[in-house]
Amino acid sequence: MGSQAAIYETNNMISQDEFSLFDPQKMRASVLPDKPGNYIIVLRSTSSLPIKVQISTTPILTSFDYKKEKYNVVYVGKSSKSLRIRDYKQHFTGTAGNSTIRKSLGCLLGFKLIPRDINSPQNGKTTFGEFDERTLTEWMKDNLLLFYYANNDYANVEKELIRTYNPPLNLQGNFNKTNLDFRKELSALRSCTSTKQAPIPNNQLKLNTYPQQMQCSNCGINLTINEGLKNEEYIKCLSCGYIIQNPIYIQNKKNKERRQWIAVLIFLVVVIIFNISSREYSTSSKGNNRIENYGSNKGPSQTKAMAGVRVYLKRHYLKDPDSYEGISWEAFGIYNKDNNTYFALHKYRAKNSYGGYVVEEKLFVLDSDGIVIKVVDDMNEVINGY
In angstroms, the CA 380 to CA 385 distance is 8
Average confidence (pLDDT) over 275-282: 64
| Bigger pLDDT: 270 vs 143 | 143
* Residue-averaged pLDDT of the chain: 79
Residue 207: pLDDT over 50 = no
Determine the CATH number of domain 292-384.
3.10.450
Average confidence (pLDDT) over 333-344: 85
Indicate whether this model's pTM tops 0.75. no
Longest dimension (CA), the chain: 102
CA angle 314, 320, 323 (to 5 degrees): 85
Q: What pLDDT sits at residue 169?
A: 96
- What is the location of CATH 3.10.450 in the chain? 292-384
Average confidence (pLDDT) over 150-177: 93
Q: Ranked by mean pLDDT, which of 27-41, 46-60, 212-226, 243-257 comes out on top? A: 27-41
Residue 222, exposed/middle/buried by CB under 10 A (0-12, 13-18, 19+)? exposed
CA angle 56, 58, 63 (to 5 degrees): 165
| Bigger pLDDT: 288 vs 67 | 67
131 pLDDT band (50/70/90 cuts)?
Answer: confident
In angstroms, the CA 144 to CA 167 distance is 14
312 pLDDT band (50/70/90 cuts)?
Answer: very high
Q: What pLDDT sits at residue 300?
A: 83
Q: What pLDDT sits at residue 90?
A: 85
Share of the chain above pLDDT 90, in %: 29
In angstroms, the CA 33 to CA 259 distance is 62
How many angstroms separate the first and last alpha carbons of the chain?
Answer: 68
Nearest in space to 292 (alpha carbons), one of 340, 332, 264 = 332
Residue 326, exposed/middle/buried by CB under 10 A (0-12, 13-18, 19+)? middle
Residue 86: pLDDT over 80 = no
Q: What are phi and psi of 63, to 5 degrees?
A: -115, 150
Residues 6 or more apart whose Cβ sits within 8 Å of residue 179: 57, 59, 60, 166, 168
**pLDDT tens across 236-248, in order?**
766 666 677 777 7
Average confidence (pLDDT) over 67-90: 88
